Amino acid sequence: MAAVLAMGISVPRHVLPLHELARARNVDPAKYRLGLGCKEMAVVAPGEDTVTLAAEATLSLLQNAPEYEPSKIGLLVVGTESGVDRAKPVAIWVHNLLGLSASCEVFDVKHACFGGTAALRMASLWADANPGRLALVVASDIARYPLNSPGEPTQGAGAVALLLGSCGRGEEVFTLSKRVGMYAAQVDDFWQPAYLKEAVVRGHYSISCYIESLKRSLEDYGEEPGNDPDFLVFHCPFPKMVKKAHAAMLEFLGKSYDVSEDFRRRVEPTLWVNERVGNAYTASVFLSLCGLIEALGGSLIGRTVGVFSYGSGSCAEYAVYTFGNGVKTSLDIKRRLDSREVINATQYERMRAECEALEQNGSYKGNVTNLGRFTFMGIQEHRRVYCGNNLRPE
Ligand code: CAA
């Protein structure tokens, strides 16, 4: 049976503390910290985009797990809603930047924040059908709302890479349950028209769509045989949303637990990365999962986590994953978060404008200096230019 064998993450190298944004927007900082549950917001700088974040997460994964041979990767799927081209997938640049085998199916999956989960499920079926080969899934996104909008403090960015293959050695990070609760419904809660740079969102309505999808997914999943999962991960657009979802879940399932105690025990250990990164759309649910793994490590072996993934528009799934011995490998998340450069609100707005300028044709000047391992250099004759260690020549 296929399982996730290794993971890697990446986050932008700059961070804006949300009390700085609150000051700039003349908002009580308690609204962001307590009302939304957010502490910090990851900010992309010129040179970073959805592709470089995905490539960096993949390189981290391959370095964390040298026992898996990259030439065996026969499927590469990127789940994203902040792709950089309407025709060309993010995945093909990642494939090139990592120098992966040409004998590989390479494509993106899109359904708002659900894309990474959809890719994971698809890759798991592919890995079952292709024993001996490996599948790579990367969830990578930059969450962006208009300046001064209610969504602005929930922005963030990041990527998580997951390597799947047949397991049998007991070294898997986790296995996915075959049983899945699903729910799909056409709703206009959050979307990004092709002619706009930022998402359009009906914020309070989107919260009710999320909760409705959670209930319907649980209903479709049916009664949990045996015990409750040991932990719960929810898609995290902002941590307070997860608190609302957890309370709604207990009520819907008719559980008479102490809500705060259950939250503290089964949910809180999953949220510390999201609090410090912000929303990363498709990657958010996996950042929570990585946070749990990093917080509890080997003590998770044999334990279970119920995972709820929601994508606006909408599609959702609830499934249960079981942890294996692979949870012992550290993803080095705390050091990555602590080593980011702290910026203020003026620098954030300047970086945002510089990133926008780099997205214009003719922006390539060969002068973007980014200390990351992969850099987006700009656009020349409508072609995106990247540099990185493992580039294959055309
Ligand atoms: N001190 C403490 N708390 C305060 C406060 C203060 N001074 N001022 C306000 N608050 C609290 C409010 O009481 C509220 O708490 P509750 O939700 O528990 O009632 C909370 O802070 C937020 O306040 P508002 O509702 O007034 O905030 P808002 O209207 O300005 O924006 C938002 C909130 C609608 C979530 C907005 O951030 C938004 O549009 N976000 C983007 C959309 C989103 O993330 N939707 C989630 C579901 S959709 C999804 O999950 C997909 C996805 O990734 C986008």
Please answer whether residues 65 and 5 qualify as being in contact, where contact means their C-beta atoms are separated by less than 8 angstroms. Answer: yes
Mean pLDDT calculated for residue range 227-234: 95
Return the pLDDT at 225: 62
Return the pLDDT at 226: 67
Find the range with the poorest average confidence among 10-24, 51-65, 220-234, 371-385: 220-234
CA distances from 283 to 26, 60, 81 (A): 30, 15, 10
Question: 134: exposed, middle or buried (C-beta count within 10 Å: 0-12, 13-18, 19+)?
Answer: buried
Q: Which two three-digit tokens encode residue 292?
A: 């749990």
Mean pLDDT calculated for residue range 208-215: 98
Return the pLDDT at 388: 82
**Residue to mutate (ligand 1; options 152, 206, 314; most atoms within 8 A of CB):** 206
- C-alpha 155/C-alpha 13 separation (Å) is 15
**69 C-alpha to ligand 1 centroid (Å):** 44
- Residue-wise pLDDT for 138-197, tens only, equals 999 999 999 999 999 999 999 999 999 987 667 899 999 889 999 999 999 999 999 998
For atom 30 of ligand 1, the residue with the nearest CA is 150
**8 C-alpha to ligand 1 centroid (Å):** 30
For atom 11 of ligand 1, the residue with the nearest CA is 35
Return the pLDDT at 73: 98
- Residue-wise pLDDT for 272-307, tens only, equals 999 999 999 999 999 999 999 999 999 999 999 999
For atom 44 of ligand 1, the residue with the nearest CA is 237
Return the pLDDT at 392: 45
Return the pLDDT at 169: 67
Return the pLDDT at 32: 98
- C-alpha 237/C-alpha 113 separation (Å) is 9
pTM: 0.97
The answer to whether residue 235 is catalytic is yes
Find the range with the poorest average confidence among 80-84, 167-171, 212-216: 167-171
For atom 31 of ligand 1, the residue with the nearest CA is 150
| Nearest atom, ligand 1, residue 35 CA | 21
For atom 38 of ligand 1, the residue with the nearest CA is 151
**151 C-alpha to ligand 1 centroid (Å):** 8
- Residue-wise pLDDT for 238-259, tens only, equals 999 999 999 999 999 999 999 9
- C-alpha 209/C-alpha 99 separation (Å) is 41
The answer to whether residue 40 is catalytic is no
The answer to whether residue 81 is catalytic is yes
- C-alpha 128/C-alpha 143 separation (Å) is 33
DSSP 8-state secondary structure symbol assigned to residue 1: -
Return the pLDDT at 394: 42
The ligand 1 site (C-beta within 6 Å) comprises 28, 30-31, 34-36, 113, 150-151, 154, 189-190, 201, 203-204, 206-207, 210, 235, 237-238, 240-241, 279, 281, 310, 312
Q: Which two three-digit tokens encode residue 28?
A: 């009580």
- Residue-wise pLDDT for 303-340, tens only, equals 999 999 999 999 999 999 999 999 988 899 999 999 99
Catalytic residue among 14, 95, 111, 235: 235
- Residues whose CB is less than 8 angstroms from the CB of residue 66 and which lie 6 or more positions away in sequence, other chains included: none
Please answer whether residues 36 and 9 qualify as being in contact, where contact means their C-beta atoms are separated by less than 8 angstroms. Answer: no
**Residue to mutate (ligand 1; options 19, 25, 31; most atoms within 8 A of CB):** 31
Catalytic residue among 20, 48, 81, 268: 81
Return the pLDDT at 8: 97
For atom 23 of ligand 1, the residue with the nearest CA is 35
Catalytic residue among 40, 48, 56, 113: 113
For atom 25 of ligand 1, the residue with the nearest CA is 204
**36 C-alpha to ligand 1 centroid (Å):** 6
